[in-house]
Amino acid sequence: GPARSPLAPVSLRCRDAAPGTGNGAWSWETPWTPPSLPRNIPSSDFSWIPQGRPDLGDPPCRPFASYGSALHIALPQAPRAGQLLTLLIDYEAGEGPGVCWLSPEQTAGKQKPYMYTQGQAVLNRSFFPCFDTPSVKFTYSATVKVPEGFTAVMSATTWEKQKDNTFVFKMSQPIPSYLIALVVGDIVSADVGPRSRVWAEPCLIEAAKKEYDGVIEEFLVVGEKLFGPYVWGRYDILFMPPSFPFGGMENPCLTFVTPCLLAGDRSLVDVIIHEISHSWFGNLVTNATWGEFWLNEGFTMYAQRRISTEVYGLPYTCLEAATGRALLRQHMDATGEEHPLNKLRVVIEPGVNPDDTYNETPYEKGYCFVSYLAHLVGNQSKFDAFLQAYVNRFKFQSITADDTLGFFLEYFPELKEKGVDSIPGFEFDRWLNTPGWPPYLPDLSPGQQLMRPADELAELWAADGLNMEAIEAVDITGWRTYQLVYFLDQVLQKSPLPEGNVKRLSKMYPKISKAQNAELRLRWCQIVLKNNLEAEYSKVKDFLHSQGKQKYTLPLYRAMWGGSEATRALAMETFSATAPQLHVNVQNYVKKILGLVGAEA
């Protein structure tokens, strides 16, 4: 059966949180089970605090990567089986990668400081002592006192403001440690649906409401129709400061998103659909280890595209999936297909930070594998029913791919009988354990009507002597953002273009070269760098100054560092100006790219 929490439920209580550093006490009420670890969980994933306190017991603390130590607690006497234990830990959380303290200048409003936490994958061990593994689930409650003029929000099912700026939170469903999240800042909210509101700094709230007013509920309703009840109560969205390192983070009840999503035209709403999809895949059914992260992200990509298909139709969804496939292609080209991280099941040695294994494979190869399972079933509504049964079977649990695939074969006995798990070239074992390009790709041809014009236009721009007549005959004014993104990915793939072409392209399409949309800006900057378009290097700098999302930041630094002397200088200059506002993890990854000391070991 699935890995079960050895120590659930756990209730956490925090007192006396103060700005600058937090301090408080957590209490565990733990029905004691003899100490056995869930399968495959390195013991180093348990019980970490930010700074080791060697007085806490024997054996002494062990180091984890660049931060954190194990907290060992010797019990005064051996507990009886089934005995209830309450453990009170006094601690302070200050410096540590999980808790980010922003100065007023690092916020959108530039008036007040801001703090946020980011738990995934294993950063919450620097926020509070916990069993910092996705295989353990527990409920929590928290009391957070903040200074006058600040609001606290958490990933919790209930939320109550008491006197003295004190907020009380309760998460009544069991969740893994990485989904506990807290923000304290000058934030306000506005309703955008019957169970949804947006949170943002006051200067952004208008734009935030406008972006998603009236659209969230439909995604939730379609999600429930496809995958079963939405168990988390509310679905709220919090727009983070620009340095937030992710597009979105699926903290239950309260998704955190980058302010880059405020495109003004809802064009980046796929990120919201993605995070909503985690409400079933990831947050209800959770990967038991970070080595099987594809169970979270691959199933979520599939669910996201199912919802998108229902709401926006197949052509658009295939177009979006094609841009995902292009990212997988770029990743595998950069690392080599045979790289050990290009497997769905990754071996993460104890002491290795799972975040260091992050890449496109669990997302897009995972999506292909789930699509392959659907292809084996051969009927969309039967496969949808399977997904719903899967969620229902494993909800509130943490599982491995063996559980998933075992349940698949059990649910479709006729497929099991046919031996679909061992079709040569498509063995389930090969999907999981062999690196490389996915052996099966879902058919994206329904997106051709949107992709073909973009393919053809990219072809024209890559030619030696530009056929301006043909180019001018193509009207891109009505193209959607993802059509432009797809076009730019094609141009990037063909780059460097013949001398002068990109300069002309830039003049011809200010809609692209002067875009404010972050996905377009990223691609444009990549094209500028790959084509050494020095006149527009300042756009790269401006974009990197404006936000700190990891998936935008790292590719641009890689491109700059792999380019000319001029782009290397640009990288150094930009990094020294922006480093303080980047998330510490992103800072370290950039340092690694630039060969600077202090890079993560």
Burial label for 33, CB within 10 Å (0-12, 13-18, 19+), is: middle
Shortest CB 278 distance to ligand BES, Å: 6
- Whole-number minimum distance, CB 223 to Zn ion, in Å? 14
Amino acid at 127: F
**Which string of x and - marks every residue 547-576 that binds ligand BES (by CB under 6 A)?**
----x-------------------------
The answer to whether residue 403 forms part of the interface with ligand BES (CB under 6 A) is: no
User: Tokens 């980047």 — which residue?
Assistant: 582
> Shortest CA distance to 122 belongs to which of 49, 37, 59, 172?
49
Catalytically annotated residue among 201, 211, 275, 519: 275
Q: Kindly tell me which of 129 and 134 has the beta carbon lying closer to ligand BES.
A: 134
Q: How far apart are CA 261 and CA 456, in angstroms?
A: 29
275 catalytic, yes or no? yes
Question: Is 91 a known active-site residue?
Answer: no
Minimal distance, residue 128 CB to ligand BES, in Å: 18
Is residue 248 marked as binding? yes
Q: Near ligand BES by CB under 6 A, which window of 17-25, 103-111, 213-221, 274-282? A: 274-282
Q: Quick one: which H or E segment has residue 212?
A: helix 202-212
Least separation in angstroms between CB 5 and ligand BES: 21
CB 138 within 8 A of CB 8: yes
| CB of 496 closer than 8 Å to CB of 464 | no
Contact between 274 and ligand BES (CB under 6 A)? yes
Contact (Cβ atoms closer than 8 angstroms) between residue 492 and residue 525: no
Q: Find which of Zn ion, ligand BES, none residue 129 binds, CB within 5 to 8 Å per kind.
A: none
H or E element that contains 270: helix 270-277
Ligand-binding annotation for 119, yes or no, is yes
Subset of 105-144 contacting ligand BES (CB under 6 A): 120-121
DSSP state of 359: -
Q: Cα–Cα distance between 140 and 27 in angstroms, integer? A: 10
250 binds ligand BES (CB under 6 A): yes
The conformation of residue 443, written as its DSSP 8-state character, comes to: -
- Per-residue tokens: 327: 């990212």
In angstroms, the CA 186 to CA 512 distance is 34
Q: Convert residues 249-288 into a mask of x (bound to Zn ion by CB under 5 A) and - (unbound).
A: ----------------------------------------
Could you tell me the smallest distance in angstroms from the CB atom of residue 120 to ligand BES? 4
* Residue 375 known to bind ligand: no
Helix, strand, or coil here: 172? strand
Q: How far is residue 362 from each of residues 274, 285, 332, 357, 438, measured CA to CA in Å?
A: 14, 16, 12, 10, 11
Given candidates 7, 208, 249, 466, which one binds ligand BES under the rule CB under 6 A?
A: 249
Cα(204)–Cα(154) distance, rounded to whole angstroms? Answer: 20
Catalytic residue among 363, 372, 482, 486: 363
Was 250 annotated as part of a binding site? yes
Which of 91, 246, 390, 408 forms a contact with ligand BES (CB under 6 A)? 246
Residue 248 interacts with ligand BES (CB under 6 A)?
A: yes
Nearest approach in angstroms of CB 271 to ligand BES is: 4
Of the two residues 121 and 458, which places its CB atom closer to ligand BES in the complex?
Answer: 121
**271 near ligand BES (CB under 6 A):** yes
What is the Cα–Cα distance from 376 to 18, expressed in whole angstroms? 55
Q: To the nearest 10°, the Cα dihedral for 352, 354, 356, 357?
A: 110
Task: List the one residue out of 584, 599, 590 whose CA is nearest residue 102.
Answer: 584
Q: Quick one: what does residue 45 bind among Zn ion, ligand BES, none, with the CB cut-off 5 to 8 Å set by partner type?
A: none
Residues 46-75 that bind ligand BES (CB under 6 A): none
Q: Which residue is nearest to ligand BES (CB)?
A: 247
* 28 part of the interface to ligand BES, by CB under 6 A: no
Site for Zn ion in 285-314 (CB under 5 A): 297, 300
Quote the DSSP letter at residue 138: E
Q: How many binding residues for Zn ion (CB under 5 A)? A: 2
Chain centroid to Cα 578, Å, comes to: 22
Residue 23 parent element (H or E): strand 22-31
Residue with smaller CB distance to ligand BES, 24 or 97: 97
Residues 456-485 that bind ligand BES (CB under 6 A): none
CB-nearer residue toward Zn ion: 394 or 575: 394
* Single-letter amino acid code for the residue at 312: Y
Task: Between 113 and 282, name the residue whose CB sits nearer to Zn ion.
Answer: 282
Q: In what order do the strands lie in the sheet with 137-145?
A: 137-145, 166-176, 158-162
Helix (H, G, I), strand (E, B) or coil at 135: coil
Residues that bind ligand BES (CB under 6 A): 120-121, 246-250, 270-271, 274-275, 278, 297, 355, 358, 363, 551
Residues that bind Zn ion (CB under 5 A): 297, 300
Binding-site residue set: 118-120, 245-250, 274, 278, 297, 549-551
Task: Return the active site residues.
Answer: 275, 363
